[in-house]
Amino acid sequence: MLLVDGSVLGLMVDMIHAIIEFLHLFFAGVLAGEELVICYGVRTVVAVLDQQPQIQLRHALIRKLRALVPATFVLTALSGIAAMSLDGTRAVFDLRCLAALGLLVWVVATLFGTVPINKNTLAWRPDAPPDNWRILVGRWERFDMARCWAAVISFAFLVAAVGMV
């Protein structure tokens, strides 16, 4: 029901904007939180295990997270694209662009860093990994750190943008 002055339509548009902002904040926060937990929680615990249980746990984590993390990213990216189309000031748009840049860094570190290493890691035998397995884990950890902080900084820019709306 559209009123003559458009107030019902305006209210509906405002509600849709709020839902899009909420979803984007939610998914970006989940992505940043998941990255923080892996980087500073799981990774540090896994590192103290002996070789065989460490590799078995790495295999299990890769298998579990290789669907969850990309799904969270896709939802973050799609809601981010929708949020970028919302009305806002130049400053809000710039902050959203910086958040998107953080996600782009996350994607590059993922696709060219952790994903290839994870794929190779799944081929390791826990009782006989390659001689350089610790070096490869160290390389993965550096990419993981980049992913973590890219997601966290992206989320911070998004929070700032939403705070300015």
Is residue 1 assigned to a domain?
no
Tell me: pLDDT of 17 over 90: no
In angstroms, the CA 32 to CA 72 distance is 10
Is residue 2 assigned to a domain?
no
Residue type, 98: L
State the pTM of this model.
Answer: 0.89
Total tally of structural domains belonging to the chain: 1
State which residues form the domain around 80.
Answer: 7-164
Tell me: pLDDT of 130 over 80: yes
**Mean pLDDT to the nearest integer, 64-87:** 92
Average pLDDT along the chain: 91
User: For residue 117, what are its two tokens?
Assistant: 């290493």
Q: List, for residues 143-163, the tens digit of each pLDDT value.
A: 999 999 999 999 999 999 988
Tell me: pLDDT of 88 over 80: no
For residue 5, the model assigns a pLDDT of: 55
Is residue 85 assigned to a domain?
yes
Tell me: pLDDT of 105 over 90: yes
Is residue 158 assigned to a domain?
yes
Q: What percent of the chain has pLDDT over 90?
A: 79
In this prediction, residue 2 has a pLDDT band, given cuts at 50, 70 and 90, of very low
| SS (HEC) of 104-118 | HHHHHHHHHHHHHHH
Cα-based distances in Å from 51 to 38, 55, 101, 127: 19, 6, 37, 8
Contact 35, 154 (CB under 8 A): no
Is residue 107 assigned to a domain?
yes
**Mean pLDDT to the nearest integer, 130-151:** 96
